[in-house]
């Protein structure tokens, strides 16, 4: 295992240096993901006259938590992998004595470290603008929320990386991700918390992987009533399904791969 950790640390160091080099661009990437803050203002205003079961402070804290969780769970591997397959760049990765997936994992983790200072600054700014929404999760919420966020990132990565495997058969695997993003917008709690959805819709959504990519970790941080045990079990179940499907598509895809694109 020593060689594994040594290679992983090397990859993290290399990709962190790469991310820091483009930290200005990284800042604008992060701002592009601030849409939950805009929605926060919309729902805070709507809560004044609506019957949602949540008040303005609840909406403010929820969308700030969504923004925070999304900063640590955003994934773009499908576009990177699609480019490698279509342009034949995957051939160089296959010559290395490690699964090419670790390059993408290291790239994403390193980006989290490079992004973190900007996240802290923006959170401070948000709480200065909305001081009534300031809160500090207790120790249990912080621990469970952090674990849920890490698993959410893993699940999001597996979901997108599995979609990326279709690059072996089509040059537009990213189109599949764009289609799945529509479900992500609604069922993940990106546009609105699942608590404002009809009970039937919420019940169906909770058996899909999408609520656990954003809503579940954010709800834990905020303190919304969620079934934590069930949530982690569903995340584990989907993780096993996606990992198994990913490895099967990887083995089949390598037989399809020609070294000069799909």
Tally of structural domains, the chain: 1
- Asked if 213 and 242 count as a contact pair (C-beta separation under 8 A), the reply is no
Choice between 97 and 260, residue whose per-residue pLDDT is larger: 97
Which band of pLDDT confidence, cut at 50, 70 and 90, is reported for residue 255? confident
Residues 94-149 have pLDDT tens digits of 888 888 888 888 888 888 888 888 788 888 888 888 888 888 888 889 999 999 99
- Asked if 151 and 235 count as a contact pair (C-beta separation under 8 A), the reply is yes
This prediction has a pTM of 0.87
Whether 160 is in a domain gets the answer yes
Whether 262 is in a domain gets the answer no
Q: Chain centroid to CA 20: how far?
A: 20
Whether 79 is in a domain gets the answer yes
Whether 92 is in a domain gets the answer yes
Residues 46-75 have pLDDT tens digits of 666 666 677 778 888 888 899 889 989 989
Could you give the CA distance from residue 198 to residue 55 in angstroms, rounded to a whole number? Answer: 18
Whether 209 is in a domain gets the answer yes
Residues 188-199 have pLDDT tens digits of 988 888 888 888
Reading the block at residue 139, the tokens are 């120790």
CA separation, residue 253 to residues 23, 75, 209 (Å): 35, 22, 24
Residue-range definition of the domain harbouring residue 252: 2-256
């Amino acid at each position: 295992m020593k060689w594994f950790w040594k290679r992983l640390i090397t990859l993290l160091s290399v990709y962190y240096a790469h991310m820091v080099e483009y930290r200005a661009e990284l800042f604008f990437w992060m701002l592009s993901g601030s849409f939950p803050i805009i929605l926060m203002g919309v729902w805070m205003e709507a809560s004044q006259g609506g019957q949602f079961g949540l008040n303005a402070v609840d909406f403010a804290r929820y969308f700030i938590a969504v923004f925070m969780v999304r900063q640590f769970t955003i994934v773009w591997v499908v576009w990177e992998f699609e480019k490698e397959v279509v342009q034949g760049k995957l051939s160089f990765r296959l010559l290395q004595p490690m699964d090419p997936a670790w390059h993408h994992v290291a790239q994403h983790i390193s980006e989290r470290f490079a992004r973190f200072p900007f996240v802290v600054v923006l959170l401070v700014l948000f709480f200065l603008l909305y001081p009534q929404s300031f809160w500090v999760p207790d120790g249990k919420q912080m621990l469970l929320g952090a674990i849920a966020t890490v698993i959410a990132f893993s699940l999001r990565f597996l979901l997108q990386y599995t979609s990326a495997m279709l690059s072996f058969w089509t040059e537009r695997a990213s189109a599949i991700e764009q289609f799945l993003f529509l479900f992500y917008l609604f069922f993940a709690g990106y546009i609105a918390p699942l608590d404002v959805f009809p009970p039937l819709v919420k019940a169906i959504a909770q058996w899909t992987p999408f609520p656990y990519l954003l809503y579940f970790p954010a709800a834990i941080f905020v303190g919304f009533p969620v079934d934590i045990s069930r949530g982690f079990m569903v995340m584990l179940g989907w993780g096993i399904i996606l990992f198994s499907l990913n490895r099967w598509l990887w083995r089949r895809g390598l037989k399809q791969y020609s070294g000069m694109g799909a």
